[in-house]
Amino acid sequence: MQLKYLVFVSVAALISQQPLFAQTSSTPTAQGDVSVTIYYNDLALVQDVRRISLPSGRSRQEFPDVSAQIRPETVTLSGDGIGIVEQNFDYDLLSPASLMEKAVGQTITLLRTNPATGVETREQATVLAANGGVVLKIGERIEVLRDDGLPVRVIFSSIPPNLRARPTLNVTMDAAQAGPRPVTLSYLTPAMGWKSDYVALFDEKASKLDMQGWITLNNSTGTTFTNVRALLVAGEVGQVQQRYNGYDGGRPQPLGNIAGTESGGGEQLGDFHAYPIEGRTTIANAQTKQVSFLDASGVPAMRGYEYRNDWMESKNQAESAASVLKFSNAKAAGIGEALPAGTVRVYMRDTRGQAQFVGESAIPHTPGGSTLALRTGDAFDVKVQPVVEKRDVITADEWTKTDRWRVTYSDGRKLEGYSERPVKYYRTQMRYIVTNAKPTPVNVDVVQSGLARWWWWRDLRIPEESIKGVQETADMRRWVVPVPANGKVELTATFLTPW
């Protein structure tokens, strides 16, 4: 008796590329003892130990339930007394569309049901084409199989041998001796990755924050990995055509991020940090899984404000300073862990004691002992308005006489300038109006950037400033401006530049 494979699908489903038998976490698997190493940049290493029985000599073995996104060029298969002759990845999966495509030129059976009487009729049809729709020859007429709402079933006499219900790796191997043995199948696959997210509850009065860290796993490989050992690796492993890592570098990051020198408490894997997931877990296809990895309380923290003027220019109106949350992940601060790149979402309690979201910021991979400054939003009550008071040309002689005011780095090195073309020297007098409508005093970091003339001139003189500033880089100078409650402070500075 010949088995028939009945496919109960609509005509629209016949055009779908989705497999008929998508693997779920409850589907029996041919996988063995699986370990999965998941990297931050959407990449995973799968190591699958299976026990197979081999005849002596050359044979072809199938390994179903590999990742549907497997990179075949990364596959290795190792075992005692075996050699690999050839390997093929069969990724043409069983779906209504693939069944119909393979049936071109063959005969199928259509079962139509009369919706009024329920009577079924059978017709033999030859599939002429299945390109964006199904064209059939039924007797002497040509018909297009339409999705018109009428119940139609299609019967195929068999499944083509090269269609697989699940992604399968076919390996031709040569065994020195017959018998059962374990073999280890290893490969890389994209479409599996992880990211970290942080929740920080900030208590401004106590200058403390509580922080939780969550790792979110994503599996869109098309394959479920059952009862596996999982290891997460933080850091950017080198790949050809690197993928975007999700770190938001678009907005200017506040000053104050200082890389630390403490060793983290996790495992080391070369130059990366590794986080094993306790016990075994099932990573289902099309699943997002969250795992807690950090829980710290009472971490010293403070809120600050920063305003950056990108060029020596006036603004027509006052602009909001950025609200910046500062803390450390040092051991002494109560965290003592390296922090994988991710998003920190900050909450504060309102007057009723309810936690309210007040902003978020991205952090890069951060070693232990670092100081972090997170821009969480723009302050409503703290404003800065830069104003160009005066800009005029000075003589070369005046420029020479101001050498004693040449700006230096923190290590004493002077900013140097060089140009082969005639130079015109300028004096720019700036005023920064800093206002605070809060009932408490605040400190505002006012940063003037745009001070370096690209690569060819970095000489800068500041003969006058109402508050002593710090040259953070050749391009940026920072002043800490204390502003009283419901008050205003004006910062002034004079810049001498060759442009």
Residues 254 and 398 in one domain: no
pLDDT digits (tens, 9 = 90+) for 330-355: 999 999 999 999 999 999 999 999 99
Q: Would you place residue 165 in the very low, low, confident or very high pLDDT band (cuts 50, 70, 90)?
A: confident
CA distance 109 to 123: 6
225-234/33-39 β-pairing: parallel
CB 365 within 8 A of CB 338: yes
Go through the chain and tell me how many residues it has: 499
Q: Would you place residue 256 in the very low, low, confident or very high pLDDT band (cuts 50, 70, 90)?
A: low
Q: Which domain holds residue 169?
A: 33-93+164-190
pLDDT for residue 452: 79
Quick check: is 106 in a domain?
yes
Segment 15-37 shows an average pLDDT of 66
Q: Which residue from 114, 289, 325, 118 is spatially nearest to 211, judged by alpha carbons?
A: 325
Q: How many CA atoms, within 13 angstroms, populate the side-chain half-sphere of residue 270?
A: 7
pLDDT for residue 208: 98
Q: Which residue from 215, 211, 190, 188 is spatially nearest to 200, judged by alpha carbons?
A: 211
Residues 287 and 241 in one domain: yes
Quick check: is 463 in a domain?
yes
210 or 239, greater pLDDT: 210
Segment 402-413 shows an average pLDDT of 68
What are the CA-CA distances from residue 234 to residues 237, 274, 326, 485 (Å)?
9, 6, 23, 43
Instruction: For Cα atoms 236, 327, 231, give the angle at the middle one, nearest 5 degrees.
Output: 30
Beta bridge partners of 53: 180
CA distance 115 to 405: 93
User: Residue 417 is part of a domain; what is its CATH number?
Assistant: 2.60.40
246 or 422, greater pLDDT: 422
Distance of CA 207 to the CA centre of its chain: 31
Distance of CA 101 to the CA centre of its chain: 37
Residues 299 and 203 in one domain: yes
Segment 164-168 shows an average pLDDT of 82
Q: Would you place residue 458 in the very low, low, confident or very high pLDDT band (cuts 50, 70, 90)?
A: low
Residues 136 and 256 in one domain: no
Q: Is the pLDDT of residue 21 over 60?
A: no
Segment 126-154 shows an average pLDDT of 85
pLDDT for residue 267: 82
CB 466 within 8 A of CB 492: yes
Distance of CA 58 to the CA centre of its chain: 44
pLDDT for residue 499: 76
249 or 77, greater pLDDT: 77
299 or 40, greater pLDDT: 299
Residues 259 and 365 in one domain: yes
Q: Would you place residue 422 in the very low, low, confident or very high pLDDT band (cuts 50, 70, 90)?
A: low
pLDDT for residue 411: 56
Percent residues over pLDDT 90 in the chain: 60
| Domain edge (last residue) among 156, 182, 200 | 156
Segment 412-440 shows an average pLDDT of 81
pLDDT for residue 397: 86
Quick check: is 466 in a domain?
yes
pLDDT digits (tens, 9 = 90+) for 182-220: 999 999 999 999 999 999 999 999 999 999 999 999 999
User: What's the domain count of the chain?
Assistant: 4
Q: Is the pLDDT of residue 487 over 70?
A: yes
Beta strands in 280-341 (DSSP E): 281-283, 287-309, 319-328
Q: Would you place residue 27 in the very low, low, confident or very high pLDDT band (cuts 50, 70, 90)?
A: low
Segment 129-152 shows an average pLDDT of 84
Segment 382-386 shows an average pLDDT of 98
Segment 434-440 shows an average pLDDT of 98
41 or 184, greater pLDDT: 184
Segment 372-400 shows an average pLDDT of 94
Quick check: is 477 in a domain?
yes
Considering Cα of 435, then 439, then 441, then 446, what sign does the dihedral take? negative
Quick check: is 313 in a domain?
no
pLDDT for residue 25: 47
Fill in the amino acid letter for 317.
Q
**Average pLDDT value for the chain:** 86
| Domain edge (last residue) among 332, 361, 379 | 379
H/E run at residue 398: helix 396-401
